[in-house]
């Protein structure tokens, strides 16, 4: 079996790690983020560590050593002002607009809500000792100061893949020709204009983040985390000094990239262990679907019930043509003109549904968590990207060969019918999905065991400073070899100048001799 609670690798090579006090900071209120992040804290607690978790979500039956510090549970839309928008209206937002309208303002507001929450303030007022601070990296950098407050190493974990800002800070190779900035959609990433766009956006985001956004986060530190031991490092330096970064990626699906030893891929960590099972009614429905099932879910933030009428009718008309059963996450109580082969639910246990052998295709918005769940279970994807990294995830699936993209603006009966027929009737999509699933699972140990191993490694080795890029000890010019390149350029320029002068002198002398001979 692929994932066991304790792999042979761990039994053979793991070094005993005594119980540690760990602070786990995951206050962001997005459900999909929590689904990915919670297994790490729960597993650390199961292995005997005392884990204090700053979170917006409460676990029903956590381990005894899992202590929750609850954040005021407010949605990002609520705190940035105004009502929740119809997310489908965000289709077509550029990466710059998405940052301006959502990420910058939402990140600051969510960070302030977390720091100002009653239970968090009580935690900060009391004396505690932590051996490690783990924080989600998602536009809440003020939380990093807790590593300084408790004099503990800082580990970061992302719910997305390669982080361009972190690469720039830690001198990790940028690889802009093959690694796309997170939240940037590029139709042809390897083209000249695609690579130029990627480079521009990486610099654009980094400059705004470092010289504007971090100043706002620093202000939150001063307001909500006073009386820190001096000198207080900047949030930039705290991230630069990060002991460990865990990326939600894996080279079996994402483009292979060069990382330093303190950057570790843990893509699919939420899939390593699950005690959940399908509800009895859904189990019976899926078991009885003799022609298979088309599963439709646009994630926790995108509501299918908000589809424009024309596009909603497109889905209903095409579903009506299918012999397959269709299960759709539909957030309203009713759905007019619902086909007989369509089952709707406000909420669906996605991991468990995708694990069922009768699922034939997953119609998705292309969020990374859901995409990884489809990869894990070998399910082909038809993706309708809405915003952020969704297009990139689906483009990767399409290029590998187990998915197809249907852009929102192109949703009509002909296009949807063609996409569904292609995936349902052509075995190559299912075969490729199973192939990707096998290689996604083919690892020395599970993603969860990998994450826990390296977190415990940092604790055992007091921050493991030797894993950091030695280029951090050099200034930017020296670490990029710019001074060496300039020196070599100058040497060649001087040599060229000298050779030019010599040749010019020789040519002049030869010309003079020839003229003299002619006169004689």
Segment 229-241, tens digit of pLDDT: 999 999 999 999 9
Query: Between 309-321 and 413-425, two packed helices, what is the crossing angle to 10 degrees?
Result: 40
Please give the C-alpha separations between residue 439 and each of 126, 142, 378, 434, in angstroms, as whole numbers: 47, 38, 10, 9
CA dihedral of residues 382, 385, 386, 392 (deg, nearest 10): 150
pLDDT value for 3: 45
Is the pLDDT confidence value at 30 over 50? Answer: yes
Residue ranges per domain, the chain? 20-272+446-472, 280-441, 481-512
pLDDT value for 309: 92
Q: Which of 155, 137, 159 has the alpha carbon at shortest distance from 38?
A: 159
Which residues lie below 8 Å from residue 319, measured CB to CB, with a gap of 6+? 294, 326, 328, 339, 341, 342
- For 477: left if phi > 0, alpha if psi spans -120 to 50, otherwise beta; the answer is alpha
Tokens of 89: 């209206």
Pairing of strands 359-364, 381-383: parallel
Is the pLDDT confidence value at 148 over 50? Answer: yes
* Phi/psi of residue 52, nearest 5 degrees: -105, 120
Is the pLDDT confidence value at 83 over 80? Answer: no
pLDDT tens digits, 305-338? 889 999 999 999 999 999 999 999 999 888 888 9
For 85, half-sphere exposure in the C-beta direction (CA atoms, 13 angstrom radius) is 10
Least confident among 349-363, 371-385, 496-510 = 496-510
Q: What percent of the chain has pLDDT over 70?
A: 96
Grouping H, G, I as helix, E, B as strand and the rest as coil, residue 403 is strand
Burial class (CB in 10 A: 0-12, 13-18, 19+), 400: middle
Distance from C-alpha of 498 to C-alpha of 464, rounded to nearest angstrom:
51
Q: Pinpoint the alpha helices (H) of 117-213.
A: 118-125, 145-149, 164-170, 192-208
Instruction: Evaluate whether 45 touches 19 at the Cβ level (below 8 Å).
Output: no
Is the pLDDT confidence value at 16 over 50? Answer: no
What residues form DSSP beta bridges with 342? 326
Beta strands in 236-341 (DSSP E): 244-247, 263-265, 293-297, 325-329
Instruction: Evaluate whether 386 touches 367 at the Cβ level (below 8 Å).
Output: no
Tokens of 444: 């020395």
Stated length of the chain: 520
Q: If you average pLDDT over each of 86-100, 144-158, 459-473, which comes out highest?
A: 144-158
Structural domain 20-272+446-472, CATH architecture:
3-Layer(aba) Sandwich (3.40)
* Phi/psi of residue 15, nearest 5 degrees: -100, 135
Q: What percent of the chain has pLDDT over 90?
A: 72
Distance from C-alpha of 400 to C-alpha of 71, rounded to nearest angstrom:
40
pLDDT value for 520: 67
CA 101 to chain centre: 19
More confident residue, 147 or 517: 147
pLDDT value for 302: 85
Is the pLDDT confidence value at 4 over 90? Answer: no
Is the pLDDT confidence value at 12 over 60? Answer: no
Least confident among 8-12, 115-119, 224-228, 252-256 = 8-12
Which residues lie below 8 Å from residue 315, measured CB to CB, with a gap of 6+? 296, 307, 328, 416
- Residue recorded with tokens 């690889």: 175
Which residues lie below 8 Å from residue 296, measured CB to CB, with a gap of 6+? 304, 315, 326, 327, 328, 329, 362, 363, 364
CA 372 to chain centre: 11
Q: Mean pLDDT over all residues of the chain?
A: 90
pLDDT tens digits, 100-122? 888 999 899 999 999 999 999 99
| CATH numeric code, 280-441 | 3.40.50.2000
pLDDT tens digits, 31-80? 889 999 999 999 999 999 999 999 999 998 999 999 999 998 777 767 77
> Stretch 176-200: mean pLDDT, rounded?
92
pLDDT tens digits, 388-403? 889 999 999 999 999 9
Is the fold of 20-272+446-472 the same as that of 280-441? yes
Is the pLDDT confidence value at 373 over 50? Answer: yes
Beta strands in 71-146 (DSSP E): 132-136
- Residue recorded with tokens 């995409």: 371
Question: Which stretch of DSSP H or E encloses residue 222?
Answer: helix 214-224
Is the pLDDT confidence value at 11 over 60? Answer: no
pLDDT tens digits, 433-492? 999 999 999 999 999 999 999 999 999 999 999 999 998 888 889 988 999 999 999 999
Q: Which of 396, 398, 393, 357 has the alpha carbon at shortest distance from 378?
A: 357
Whether a cis peptide bond, with omega within 30° of 0, leads into 121 is no
């Amino acid at each position: 079996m692929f994932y066991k609670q304790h792999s042979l690798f761990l039994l053979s090579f793991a070094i005993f790690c005594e119980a540690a006090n760990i602070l786990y900071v995951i206050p962001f209120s997005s459900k999909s983020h929590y689904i990915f992040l919670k297994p790490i804290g729960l597993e650390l607690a199961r292995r005997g560590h005392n884990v204090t978790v700053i979170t917006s979500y409460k676990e029903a039956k956590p381990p005894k050593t899992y202590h929750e510090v609850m954040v005021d549970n407010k949605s990002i839309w609520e705190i940035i002002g105004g009502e929740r928008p119809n997310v489908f209206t965000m289709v077509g937002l550029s990466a710059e607009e998405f940052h301006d309208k959502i990420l910058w303002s939402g990140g600051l507001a969510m960070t302030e809500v977390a720091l100002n929450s009653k239970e968090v303030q009580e935690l900060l007022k009391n004396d505690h000792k932590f051996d490690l601070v783990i924080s989600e990296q998602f536009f809440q950098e003020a939380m990093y100061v807790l590593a300084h407050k408790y004099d503990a190493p800082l580990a970061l974990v992302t719910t997305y893949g390669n982080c361009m800002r972190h690469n720039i800070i830690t001198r990790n190779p940028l690889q802009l020709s093959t690694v796309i900035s997170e939240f940037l959609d590029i139709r042809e990433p390897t083209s000249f204009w695609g690579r130029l766009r990627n480079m521009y956006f990486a610099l654009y985001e980094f400059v705004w983040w470092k010289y504007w956004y971090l100043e706002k986060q620093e202000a939150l530190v001063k307001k909500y985390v006073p009386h820190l031991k001096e000198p207080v490092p900047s949030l930039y330096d705290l991230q630069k000094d990060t002991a460990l970064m865990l990326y939600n990626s894996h080279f079996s699906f994402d483009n292979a990239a060069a990382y330093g030893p303190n950057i570790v891929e843990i893509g699919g960590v939420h899939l390593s262990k699950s005690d959940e099972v399908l509800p009895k009614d859904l189990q019976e429905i899926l078991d009885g679907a003799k022609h298979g099932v088309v599963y439709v879910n646009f994630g926790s933030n995108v509501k299918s019930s908000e589809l424009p009428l024309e596009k909603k009718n497109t889905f209903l008309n095409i579903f009506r043509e299918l012999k397959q059963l269709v299960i759709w996450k539909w957030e309203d109580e009713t759905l007019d003109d619902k086909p007989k082969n369509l089952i709707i639910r406000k909420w669906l246990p996605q991991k468990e549904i995708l694990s069922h052998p009768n699922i034939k295709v997953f119609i998705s918005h292309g969020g990374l968590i859901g995409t990884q769940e489809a990869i894990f279970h070998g399910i082909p994807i038809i993706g309708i990207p809405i915003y952020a990294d969704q297009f990139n995830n689906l483009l990767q699936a399409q290029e590998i060969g187990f998915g197809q993209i249907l852009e929102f603006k192109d949703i009509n009966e002909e296009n949807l019918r063609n996409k569904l027929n292609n995936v349902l009737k052509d075995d190559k999509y299912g075969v490729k999905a199973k192939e990707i699933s096998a290689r996604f699972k083919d690892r020395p140990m599970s993603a969860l065991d990998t994450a826990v191993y390296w977190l415990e490694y940092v604790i055992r080795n007091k921050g493991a400073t030797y894993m950091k890029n030695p280029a951090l000890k050099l200034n930017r010019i020296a670490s990029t070899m710019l001074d060496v390149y300039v020196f070599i350029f100058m040497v060649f320029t001087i040599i060229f100048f000298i050779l030019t002068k010599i040749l010019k002198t020789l040519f002049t002398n030869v010309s003079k001799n020839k003229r003299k001979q002619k006169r004689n």
